[in-house]
Structure 1
Amino acid sequence: MKKKFKVKEVSARLIQYPWDLIHINKEQLTTDITSYIENKPIKENKHIGVHFIKGSQIITGKNSIIKPGCVLDAENGPIFIGNEVKISSNSVIEGPAFIDDNVTIHALSRIHAGSNIGKVCKIGGEITNTIIQDYTNKQHDGFLGDSYIGSWVNLGAGTVNSNLTNIYGSVKLQLYDKIIDSGQTFLGMIMGDHTKTAINTKFTTGSIIGFACNILLTSTPPKFIPSFSWYSDNLTRAYDIKRELQVAKRMMARRNKKMTRNGEKVFKTIFTLTEKERKLHDN
C-alpha cells in the first residue's frame, strides 16, 4: 500500500556558493536569535562592570564570564553568548552576533555585527560579518571581515583580509579555472578546514583558500589556493598528506579530540578530488 504524503510549499533561499551564507548572515542571525528569545524567558544579566545596551536582546549562558569594561550592544541586533564562554576585559560585541560554547575572547577584541563564532574557538582582534566554524584560532590582532572560515584553522598573528575593492565594485572570485562575479560589494575570503597561516599574512578581496593548506608567504598570497597546498617564499608544492594528517591529529589532541577513521578518509578523499585543481593552478 502506497503512503500518501502531504506536500507543503515553503519559501526558502537557495545557497549556491559559500559567499551566499556570508551575504545573508546578519539577517539569519537576527531571525534565529530573536526566535529563541521569544520562546524563552530571559534572565537579567548580572556581570559587574559590564555595559549591556538593550539587555532584553542579550542572552548569556551558564558559567560564562564577562570581565569588567566590556560592552555588549544589541541596539542593532540580538546577541547570543553560549555556556562556559570567557570574554576578557574591554572587549566590544555588537549584535547581531552568536558566540557558541567554550569560546575565549581576548582583551580589547572588537566583535562587530554578523559575527558567528563556533564552539571552542579562541578569538582576538577585529571581526565583522564573519562565520567561524568550531575549534578555530584567530587569537591575535588583525582584521577579518565578510569571510567564511572552516574548522581547525589557525590564523597567525597579524593575519588580515581585505573585504572591499579600491573601486568599490562587485567582488570577483577565482574558482578553479573560472572567474565568478559574486555580485557583492563586501566579500573577504573563504578558507577551508585545517588551513594555517603565518604571522602577518595578507589576503586580498575575494580570496579562496582550500582545505589543509599551509601559507607562509611574506608577500600577498594568490586569490585562489587549491586544497593541500604549501606556499612559502621559496617553495610552492602539494602538502604531503601524511605530514598534514600528523599535524591535524596533534592540533586535535590539544583539544582532547581524536581523529576518527572517517576523518582520515575525508582527508584522503579531498586530496584525491582536488588533484586536478592543484595541476591546473601549477600550470
Structure 2
Amino acid sequence: MNLTNASFFDLSHYVHASLFVAEEYPWQALARLKSYMTEYPWPQIAWPQNPGPLPATLVLHDTLLLAATDLTIEFGDATKGRLKVFREGVLLEGASVLMAGAVLAGGPLSIGKGVLVESGAFIKGPVIIGDQSEIRQGAYLRGHCLVGARCVVGHVTEVKHAIFLDDAKAGHFAYLGDSILGNEVNLGAGTKLANLRFTGGDVLVKTPDGPISSGLRKFGAIFGDKVQTGCNAVTNPGTVLGKKSIVLPNTTAPSGWHTSNSLIR
C-alpha cells in the first residue's frame, strides 16, 4: 500500500511543490496550507480597496494595475496562452485581465501571468492563482485557495481551502472543500466533494490495513493526477483516488483509498 504524495502527484514542475513532502500522506499538505500562505511572499500590488464589483476592467502587467480604456484585449483561451493585451499595437507580455464586475473581497491575492478573471467572479483572499488560469463568471473562491497554472475554476464553482495542481479543471457547478486536485484532473459538471462527517470527529481514510485518521475535521477528497469525474458525481469525506481513476456520472464515490486506475460506478 503506497499512500504517499509521490504515488499521487508529479510535483517536478509545480511551483508550490515545497508544500508537499514526498513520503507524507497527501492530505497532510492541506494541514499546512494556511501556514504556507501566511509565509508566502505576496506581491506588492495596489489592489482596489472599495468593496463591491470592479467598476471597470483592469489589466495587471508586472505589478502594475492599468485601466483598460486605452488597451486592446483579445479574449482567447487563457489556459492555452491566447489571452492577449495590446497597448498601441504592442503586446504586453504576460498581462492578466480582471473584468469589470469581478469582486476582490480582501485578504492577500497573487495573480500570475496571462490570467483571466471574468465578471461576476468573487475572490476572497488569501488566494494564489497561477499563470494562464481562468476564473470564470460566478466562481466563488473563499479563502486559502491555491490554484496552479492553466487551471479553470468555472461557472458557479465554489472552492475553499483547496489546492489545484497544474492543468486541473473544475469547469461547471462544482464544490471543492478541503481537497486537492492533481495535475490534469477534470471534474464533470456538478461534481461535489463533500468535506464534513455527519457524525463529527476527524475524517478517517479507509484502507485495506485499517482506517487512518487524517487529523482533519474537514477533509474532502484527494484526486491523483489525471483523475476524471462524470457529471453530478459526488465523493464522501476522505475519498482518496489514485492516478487516472474515473468516477462515472451520477455516482457517489465511497470514502477511503482507491488504487490508481480505479473505476467507481
Q: When the two structures are superposed, what TM-score results if normalisation uses the length of structure 1?
A: 0.67
Contact 1:217–1:231, Cα closer than 8 Å, also in 2: no
The residue correspondences of 1:30-179 to structure 2 (distance < 5 A) are: 30-32=38-40, 35-37=41-43, 41-42=44-45, 49=55, 62-74=94-106, 77-124=107-154, 125-179=157-211
Q: Distance in 1 between matches of 2:64 and 2:197?
A: 36
> Structure 2 stretches of 5 or more lacking a match?
1-17, 66-92
Contact 1:113–1:128, Cα closer than 8 Å, also in 2: yes
Which residue of structure 1 aligns with residue 33 of structure 2? 25
Contact 2:42–2:110, Cα closer than 8 Å, also in 1: no
**Counterpart residue identity of residue 65, structure 1:** V
Contact 1:194–1:211, Cα closer than 8 Å, also in 2: yes
> Structure 1 stretches of 5 or more lacking a match?
1-11, 53-57, 233-283
DSSP-derived class of the 1:102 partner: coil
Equivalent residue in structure 2 for 1:209, among 233, 236, 241: 241
**Counterpart residue identity of residue 264, structure 2:** Y
- Return structure 1 stretches of 4+ with deviation > 3 angstroms: 12-15, 41-48, 58-62
Structure 1 residue 221: Cα displacement? 1.5
DSSP-derived class of the 2:27 partner: helix
Q: Distance in 1 between matches of 2:167 and 2:133?
A: 9
Q: Distance in 1 between matches of 2:202 and 2:54?
A: 45
The structure carrying a bigger helix percent of its residues is 1
Contact 2:177–2:193, Cα closer than 8 Å, also in 1: yes
Equivalent residue in structure 1 for 2:217, among 185, 188, 197: 185
The structure carrying a bigger strand percent of its residues is 2
Matched residue count: 209
DSSP-derived class of the 2:30 partner: helix
DSSP-derived class of the 1:186 partner: coil
Structure 1 residue 23: Cα displacement? 1.5
The structure with more radius of gyration: 1
**Counterpart residue identity of residue 113, structure 1:** G
Structure 1 residue 118: Cα displacement? 0.5
Which residue of structure 2 aligns with residue 240 of structure 1? none
Contact 1:50–1:71, Cα closer than 8 Å, also in 2: no
Contact 2:56–2:101, Cα closer than 8 Å, also in 1: yes
Q: When the two structures are superposed, what TM-score results if normalisation uses the length of structure 2?
A: 0.71
Structure 1 residue 219: Cα displacement? 3.3
Structure 1 residue 13: Cα displacement? 9.8
Q: Distance in 2 between matches of 1:62 and 1:138?
A: 23
Which residue of structure 1 aligns with residue 259 of structure 2? 226
Which residue of structure 1 aligns with residue 85 of structure 2? none
**Counterpart residue identity of residue 152, structure 1:** E
Structure 1 residue 63: Cα displacement? 1.2
Structure 1 residue 14: Cα displacement? 9.3
Structure 1 residue 72: Cα displacement? 1.0
Q: Which has the higher contact order (CA 8 A, sep 6+)?
A: 2
Structure 1 residue 153: Cα displacement? 0.8
